Each structure stands twice: as structure tokens, then as C-alpha cells.
Amino acid sequence: MDHEADAHRTDLMTITRHVLNEQTKYPESRGDFTILLSHIVLGCKFVCSSVSKAGLAKLFGLAGETNIQGEEQKKLDVLSNEVFVKALISSGRTCILVSEEDEEAIFVDRSKRGRYIVVFDPLDGSSNIDCGVSIGTIFGIYLVKDEDNPTIDDVLQAGKNLLAAGYCMYGSACTLVLSTGSGVNGFTLDPSLGEFILTHPNIKVPKKGKIYSVNEGNAKNWDEPTTKFVEKCKFPTDGSPPRSLRYIGSMVADIHRTLLYGGIFLYPADKKSPNGKLRLLYEVFPMSYLMEQAGGQAFTGKQRALDLVPGKIHERSPVFLGSYDDVEEIKALYAAAN
Ligand SMILES: O=P(O)(O)OC[C@H]1O[C@](O)(COP(=O)(O)O)[C@@H](O)[C@@H]1O
Ligand SMILES: [Mg+2]
Ligand SMILES: [Mg+2]
């Protein structure tokens, strides 16, 4: 055997093995986190399979449509929520769940309770479902203070306290991007094997990007720093070429592109929505955590996004996140305006 060639062969790493490897860094670990993640992975596989069949809904009676027998079916975002709630509770490792789809936090029954809090957006970018554009699931994981007495204050923690965060994108491939606090890794589902395989090890967002991503339809209501930033992207005055605009309208897909290609994603405050649109706990925090773990930054217009402490579970926040240098630029514009 050619040992040199063998040494250069890349290891085949499944998500389960990756998480088990991470676990060995914590000798006191009881494997609870690994079990929790395996249930999140299960939820992602289930939703991925439902999303891929969404276009057939009318024929076969899948989510959100009336089937040929005239039976009403559940909408895909409602179905996804039920899948994740069930998968998380049955892991036996969660104590509080916060979902975009549920007005109140879910406190898990004592008999099935564990140490982890999971905040999640079961189906992000849901307006893109019907045209087959990429959508996803976003999640963040916190630890509860006292497993026997979980309270809502356990959920209202700063984003910097997250233990882990990730998203699964249901796009041309099903890709799960995860950080457990030591970098960011991306896994692609091999549909025939049913396994997520490490395809994007140690993702680092380029230090500076050539793309900006924003809903320009809101431009007439923007504040001055955002307006100036976008103007600079289109009409640079430093001799650099104009930046490209890319906006999918699914946060998962826009952030995935930003992580891999660099650039900046903006959902600013505006006159109509003074807190922006995106939800702090299950959209802004997990994505900001991933961006920082990949070497980028996340800023609210006033402060580091992960330093915010939510006052309520469905609170919103403006956010600017992406390549380190691009976020520095918007920070400088806000500093100059204040
Ligand atoms: O349509 P807009 O205002 O540009 O908003 C797009 C944003 O809204 C969202 O779709 C909100 O997510 P949901 O589909 O989970 O409600 C984000 O994914 C996306 O970044
Ligand atoms: Mg969303
Ligand atoms: Mg959603």
C-alpha cells in the first residue's frame, strides 16, 4: 500500500462521529448533548424529506394542501414545528422549548426533562416554499440553571451564553451547519445513506466580501447609516468595483451564502419597524453565534448582537452580520452618526 497517498486521503466523518469527538473534550460529559443533537438531526431529515415532496402535495395530499380524497393537510411550517417539538421532547434531554410557531414557551414534563433549552425557527423562509427556493431550520441551545425548577428567565439569556447553534438548509442539497463553540462545520446529507457527512470542515467567512444582501424594497424607510452603506456598495468612492446584491429572502440561505462566499447580510431597523424584523432568540442569536465562530461579526446598529439580553421570547432586533471588515464599515457609519 502507498502509505503517503493514504495519509493524504480525507477522513470520512459523519455528524454523529463529529459530535462524539467533540464530547471527548469534556470528560465529565454524560452523552446528553450527543443524544440531543441526534434528535435535532432526526427532525432535519424528516423536514428535508417533507420539503422535497412539497411540490407533489396537491397530488398526494402532503403538507398545506387538500389531497385527492379532499382531506385537509397541515401546512409545512406547522408540520415542521410538530416534528421538531416531538423530536426534541422525545430526546429526554430538553426542559424548555421556544419555537417561532408557538406563542408560549413549552415546559417539558418532568418525566421527560433534561438540561437543555432549545430555541428554534422550524421553517425559516416559509414564503419561499411554494416556488421551491431554499428554506431551512435554525436552532440554538442553552443550558438551564436548575433542571428541577426551569423558569422563563432561563430562556431570556444573552446570545453569548449559547452552547451551540446551527441551521439546516433544505436547498439543492440538504446541508447542516453547526457550531458547538469551537469553529463551524458543515455537513451534507447523503440521501441514499441517510447520513450527514462532513463536507465543509472549519468554515471561515472571508475577511472582506464582494456581496451585500438586503431587502431594498424597504429603502425609503432606512436610517442614514444603512442608506449610506448601501450607497457605498453600489457607488464606491475608493476605486473598488461595485458590490453585487444577492437577496433570497430566506435568512438561512442568505447567511449560508455569506458564510461561504463572504459579504454582509443586513436586516436593519426602519421607520416602520424600529426593531427590524428578525427574531432575536431563534434567528439573530444562532446566526450571529455561527458568524462569530467563523471569524465574522454581528452588530445590531448599537452593539454586538450576542451581548443583547431579550426581554421577551419573540423579541426582534435589527442585525448586520457577515465578513469582519464589512461589519466594521457599518459600525463606523453608526459611530459617526451618533
Ligand atoms: O421578506 P422580507 O421582509 O425581506 O424578510 C425576509 C426575512 O424574513 C424571514 O423569512 C422570516 O422567517 P420565517 O419564514 O421563519 O417567518 C427570513 O428568513 C428572511 O430573512
Ligand atoms: Mg425565520
Ligand atoms: Mg419560520
CA dist., res. 209 & res. 237, Å (int): 17
CB 285 within 8 A of CB 306: yes
Which triple of cell numbers denotes residue 99? 419555537
Examine the domain organization and report whether 104 and 241 are in the same domain.
no
Question: Quick check: 301 and 321 in contact, CB under 8 A?
Answer: no
Residue 276 lies in a domain: yes
Q: Average pLDDT for residues 314-326, to the nearest whole number? A: 98
Q: Which atom of ligand 1 is nearest to the CA of 127?
A: 14
**Range of weakest confidence among 48-57, 149-158, 164-173, 183-192:** 48-57
Q: In the predicted model, what is the mean pLDDT of residues 271-298?
A: 97
Of 200, 232, 256, the residue that ends a domain is 200
Is residue 16 located within the same domain as residue 77? yes
Work out the pLDDT band at 21, boundaries 50, 70, 90.
Answer: confident
Q: Tell me, yes or no, whether 140 and 222 share the same domain.
A: no
Q: HSE of 261 in the Cβ direction (CA atoms, 13 Å)?
A: 17
Task: Tally the domains of the chain.
Answer: 2
At residue 212, the 3 state secondary structure works out as strand
Q: What is the pLDDT of residue 1?
A: 46
Q: Are residues 218 and 243 in the same domain?
A: yes
Residue 268: give the domain boundaries.
Answer: 211-337
Question: How far does residue 239's CA lie from ligand 3's centre (Å)?
Answer: 40
Place of cell 471569524: 295
Q: Are 184 and 290 in contact (CB under 8 A)?
A: yes
What's the rounded Cα separation, in Å, for the pair 141 and 161? 9
Whether residue 5 is contained in a domain is answered as no
Total residues found in the chain within this entry: 338
| Whether pLDDT at 72 is above 70 | no
pLDDT (0 to 100) of residue 5: 55
Boundary (domain end) residue, out of 136, 170, 200: 200
| Residue 41 pLDDT > 80 | yes
Mutate to test the pocket of ligand 1, among 127, 128, 216 (most ligand atoms within 8 A of CB): 127
| Rounded Cα distance, 230 and 265, in Å | 11
Asked if 188 and 123 sit in the same domain, the reply is yes
10 band by pLDDT with thresholds 50, 70 and 90: low
Going by pLDDT thresholds of 50, 70 and 90, the confidence category of residue 11 is confident
Q: Hey, which of 79, 128, 251, 284 would you mutate to test ligand 1's pocket, going by the most ligand atoms within 8 Å of its Cβ?
A: 251
Domain boundary among 167, 200, 233: 200
Return all residues near 238 (Cβ < 8 A) that are at least 6 apart.
none
In a domain, 225, yes or no: yes
29: confidence class by pLDDT, cuts 50, 70, 90: confident
Whether 160 and 306 map to the same domain: the answer is no
Per-residue confidence (pLDDT) for residue 66, from 0 to 100 = 53
- Considering the domain architecture, whether residues 87 and 172 belong to the same structural domain is answered as yes
**What is the C-alpha radius of gyration for the chain, rounded to an integer number of angstroms?**
20
Assess whether 31 and 64 both reside in one domain: yes
Mean pLDDT of the chain: 92
Q: Is residue 234 part of a domain?
A: yes
pLDDT value at position 75?
A: 86
23 and 148 together in one domain: yes
The response to whether residue 22 sits with its C-beta less than 6 Å from ligand 1 reads: no
> Cα–Cα distance between 244 and 274 in angstroms, integer?
27
Q: Is 201 in the pocket of ligand 1 (CB under 6 A)?
A: no
The answer to whether residues 23 and 136 belong to one domain is yes
Q: Is the CB of 183 under 6 A from ligand 1?
A: no
Do 232 and 135 reside in the same domain of the chain? Answer: no
Q: DSSP of 120-137, one letter per residue?
A: EEEEETGGGGGGT--EEE
Same-domain check for residues 59 and 174: yes
Strand, coil or helix: 242: coil
In this structure, is residue 4 part of a structural domain?
no
- Could you report the per-residue pLDDT of 82-91, keeping only the tens digit for each? 999 999 999 9
Helices 15-23 and 32-52: crossing angle in degrees, nearest 10, is: 160
What CATH number does the domain containing 308 carry? Answer: 3.40.190.80
CA of 92 to the centre of ligand 1 (A): 31
Looking at residue 74, its pLDDT comes to 66
The domain spanning residue 31 has which CATH number? 3.30.540.10
Residue of 304 and 28 predicted with greater confidence: 304
* pLDDT at 220 exceeding the cut of 60: yes
Residue 101 belongs to a domain:
yes
At 253, which helix (H) or strand (E)? helix 251-261
205 domain-assigned: no
Name, in order, each residue with C-beta under 8 angstroms of 57's C-beta and a sequence gap of 6 or more. 63, 64, 65, 67, 73
pLDDT cut 90: percent of the chain above it: 82
pLDDT tens for residues 90-149? 999 999 999 999 999 999 999 999 999 999 999 999 889 889 999 999 999 999 999 999
Q: Indicate if ligand 1 lies below 6 Å from the C-beta of 258.
A: no
Residue tagged 459523519 (cell numbers):
14
Q: Ligand 1 pocket, 249 CB below 6 A?
A: yes
